[in-house]
Chain A
Amino acid sequence: DAKTTQPTSMDCAEGRAANLPCNHSTISGNEYVYWYRQIHSQGPQYIIHGLKNNETNEMASLIITEDRKSSTLILPHATLRDTAVYYCIVRVAETSGSRLTFGEGTQLTVNP
């Protein structure tokens, strides 16, 4: 799996957009970018994933650069409940039985 690099922590004001970066310069052509988040003392939650096109769902948007070496997760209107650790994971697409590798992620703190 390609290695990912994320900032240790970020702050964001409530109601503003939160932009979380992830570098994955060694990503290969068949690897996807996945984002999970973990609210304190809970299990991680899947957010979104993408290959090369930008993706959007009800939770967030994922912007992947044209060279695919970096990506940004965007929470368009951050709320206090979005305070969590956000994990960027690069992995080949697999059927059931995948081994995800969670690094230390980015601690996002949304401030009132």
Chain B
Amino acid sequence: DGGITQSPKYLFRKEGQNVTLSCEQNLNHDAMYWYRQDPGQGLRLIYYSQIVNDFQKGDIAEGYSVSREKKESFPLTVTSAQKNPTAFYLCASSPPGTSFNEQFFGPGTRLTVL
């Protein structure tokens, strides 16, 4: 089945540790995105990538890093510099050449920093 996978669904880490969240898609989409969602709030864009080996900061990039070495993979690292990393993290992708903003979302990873 085509889609976006994020693993794991729940992740626990100690404060001060870096952690990498996985996002993989087999939809052959060029663009991929990372969002953060806090309880009761909307989504905020962290980073996005339009093509391999290229990415741009979103609205809340501080304390995060990404890489895009392969088209199908866009991992997000939450560094120890992120002051409040506990949140629900969502990865999305969108196909090339579309005339509308349809993004396909993964199931999300809920990160808890203890």
- A residues bordering B, Cβ < 8 Å? 32, 34, 41-46, 49, 87, 89, 91, 93-105
6 tightest Cβ-Cβ pairs between the two chains A and B: A43-B105, A97-B50, A102-B43, A102-B42, A96-B31, A98-B101
Cα separation A34 to B100 with both chains bound (whole Å): 9
- B residues bordering A, Cβ < 8 Å? 4, 29-31, 35, 40-45, 48, 50, 58, 88, 90, 92, 94-108, 110
B106 contacts A43, C-beta separation under 8 Å: yes
Partner of A95 from the list B42, B98, B110 (CB cut-off 8 Å) is: B98
B103 contacts A46, C-beta separation under 8 Å: yes
Smallest Cβ distance from A90 to chain B, in angstroms?
Answer: 10
Give the dominant DSSP class at B's interface: loop
B101 contacts A91, C-beta separation under 8 Å: yes
Chain A residues with Cβ under 8 A from B110's Cβ?
41
B94 contacts A96, C-beta separation under 8 Å: yes
When A and B form their complex, what is the total count of cross-chain residue pairs whose Cβ atoms lie within 8 Å? 76
A42 contacts B43, C-beta separation under 8 Å: no
With contact pairs A89-B101, A96-B29 given, residues A43 and B92 touching in the complex (Cβ less than 8 Å): yes
Cα separation A32 to B58 with both chains bound (whole Å): 21
A96 contacts B98, C-beta separation under 8 Å: yes
Smallest Cβ distance from A29 to chain B, in angstroms?
Answer: 16
Partner of A34 from the list B40, B101, B107 (CB cut-off 8 Å) is: B101
A43 contacts B108, C-beta separation under 8 Å: yes
Smallest Cβ distance from B106 to chain A, in angstroms?
Answer: 5
Scoring B31, B42, B104 by chain A CB atoms within 10 A of each residue's CB, the highest score goes to B42
B101 contacts A94, C-beta separation under 8 Å: yes
A104 contacts B98, C-beta separation under 8 Å: no
Chain A residues with Cβ under 8 A from B101's Cβ?
32, 34, 49, 89, 91, 93-94, 98, 100
Chain B residues with Cβ under 8 A from A95's Cβ?
96-99
With contact pairs A43-B108, A44-B105 given, residues A99 and B45 touching in the complex (Cβ less than 8 Å): yes
Chain A residues with Cβ under 8 A from B104's Cβ?
46
Chain B residues with Cβ under 8 A from A104's Cβ?
40-42
